[in-house]
Amino acid sequence: MKKLFKKNEIYTVRIEDITDLGFGVGHIEGCAIFVADTVMGDLVRVSIIKVNSGYLVGRMIELIEASEARCTSRCTESGCRSCAYKNISYSDEALKKEEGVRRLFSRRELSVPVAKIITSPAETRYRNKAQYPIARVGGRYTVGFYAPKSHRVCPIEDCPLTPEVFSEIVALCLSHFEKHSLSVYNEESGEGLLRHIYLRRGEVTGEILLTIVVTSFAFPHADELVASVRERFPQVVGILLNKNSEATNVILGDEYKTLYGVPYIFDVLAGVRLKITAQSFYQVNRTACELLYAKARDLAAPTKADTVLDLYCGAGSIGLSMARDAGEVIGIEIVESAVECAKENAVANGITNASFFTGDAANTERLLEAAERKIGKRIDPDVVILDPPRAGCAPELLSFVASREPKRIVYISCNPKTLARDAELLAALGYKADTVYPVDMFPMTGHVESVVCLTR
């Protein structure tokens, strides 16, 4: 007979595993229970806070016996739950991610081997980008990250994933807001000025771009803020306002105003100097990304006789990193400003065999139309690079790519679930997946990048 559980009942549970959302998993009389802030091996006393038909959610009320896997030194910000694996060692985290990718592919019965995970050179301070929501907590201006399933800001003084200079710049901005009593945006009323502080940094160049997201360009005492930032942080090459007055969860609006300097930074990735704007896509962990791109380049193995088609090309970083080995690189991207950056990046690096065009990967009938019209011939690529968002590729796009009969498809994915799904679809279209290589781009978080080559 199945036991009927009730809220507030208390049980002692041995935690057996941890999910990529950071919840420990145990069982009570055969029923799975998920408990925040626990790790595999912990023995805990828990109170049931939610009863669902197939599982329970519990709250730890006592840590009876700490697991050997438990680690408390990676992050001391107890209020933030953004990092799923901050309470276990990095070696345990890497193993969990590798096993997770292997499990997803085994479920698809693809018989695809999964290699040992390529770990990040840095566990902390690796992020070159951070977006902080602004709030007033207890009458004080603060920034932080949203609590799970809410827009309540958990104050964070110094996130260990970001450069220390980010926290210093944020503190200066908050001091300015406090001095002039600037209003903070209220989601319910739609009133208030300040929404987010957004920072980007070039790891190699050291250049920093500061963007303040506001509901109006009428920003009081802007000159004073600019002078303060320039005096203390000469590495800040641009200070921008971004206007977002919409009632939306999207952080950035479409309009920018430059208060000082230039609206971009430069960085160097995989031997290519890149111009990066506030809205450009750029991998947040540059050193780990270099390992990912090196593996992708090895798998693509372009030669001077090959045409490489780089879909979802962004500012061109992947295609440009392969251009010196390839005969021709053609990049397609839906964001027009990113395409312009890609073109500028090609020129700045002296790369003459790469062309970039605006196109929508969801519109396969017209995907290559502009590029083919421009170069005056049909594009039949030898190598296709796919680097889609977390949702993966539409079946129509995969069918379109397969119809052009490339020799190799190199698929870079930030979501192993959709990668396994799409590998199965490509298998039905005649492309066999070789070894999958997990790459840890995001230590402490539940995310893992992967790359695989599929051969016709």
pLDDT of residue 436: 97
Same domain, 292 and 431: yes
Residue 308 lies inside a defined structural domain of this protein: yes
Same domain, 136 and 117: no
CATH of the domain at 230: 2.40.50.1070
Residue 5 lies inside a defined structural domain of this protein: no
Residue 385 lies inside a defined structural domain of this protein: yes
Same domain, 236 and 379: no
Phi then psi for residue 144, to 5 deg, are 180, -145
Same domain, 341 and 234: no
d(CA 181, CA 400): 55
d(CA 397, CA 383): 15
Same domain, 174 and 299: no
Helix (H, G, I), strand (E, B) or coil at 448: coil
Same domain, 257 and 319: no
pLDDT of residue 336: 87
Same domain, 381 and 332: yes
Same domain, 137 and 263: yes
Domain that holds residue 391: 100-121+281-455
pLDDT of residue 301: 97
d(CA 225, CA 179): 11
Same domain, 288 and 412: yes
Residue 314 lies inside a defined structural domain of this protein: yes
Structural domain ending residue among the three candidates 243, 269, 295: 269
Structural domain ending residue among the three candidates 65, 92, 110: 65
pLDDT of residue 280: 85
Asked if 379 contacts 67 with a C-beta cutoff of 8 angstroms, the reply is no
Residue 275 lies inside a defined structural domain of this protein: no
Same domain, 306 and 442: yes
Looking at the annotation, which residues are catalytic?
A: 414
pLDDT of residue 1: 39
Residue 440 lies inside a defined structural domain of this protein: yes
CATH of the domain at 36: 2.40.50.140
Helix (H, G, I), strand (E, B) or coil at 312: coil
d(CA 361, CA 396): 9
pLDDT of residue 78: 67
Same domain, 326 and 403: yes
Token pair of 253, please? 């609006």
Question: What separation in angstroms does the CA of 94 have from each of 91, 99, 118, 159?
Answer: 5, 9, 9, 21
Q: How many domains does the chain have?
A: 3
| 184: exposed, middle or buried (Cβ count in 10 Å: 0-12, 13-18, 19+) | middle
Same domain, 287 and 263: no
Q: What is the DSSP string of 183-248?
A: -B--TTT---SEEEEEEEE-TTT--EEEEEEES-S--TTHHHHHHHHHHH-TTEEEEEEEE--SSS
**Which residue type is seen at 10?**
I
Residue 83 lies inside a defined structural domain of this protein: no
pLDDT tens track, the chain, 456 positions:
367 899 999 999 999 999 998 899 999 999 999 999 999 999 999 999 999 988 999 999 999 999 998 988 888 776 677 889 999 999 999 999 999 999 999 888 788 999 999 999 999 999 999 999 999 988 899 998 887 777 888 888 899 999 999 999 999 999 999 999 999 999 889 999 999 999 999 999 999 999 999 999 999 999 999 999 999 999 999 999 999 999 988 999 999 999 999 999 999 999 999 999 998 888 999 999 999 999 999 999 999 999 999 999 988 999 999 999 999 999 999 988 889 999 999 999 999 999 999 999 888 888 998 889 988 989 999 999 999 999 999 999 999 999 999 999 999 999 999 999 999 999 999 999 999 999 999 999 999 999 999 999
pLDDT of residue 361: 87
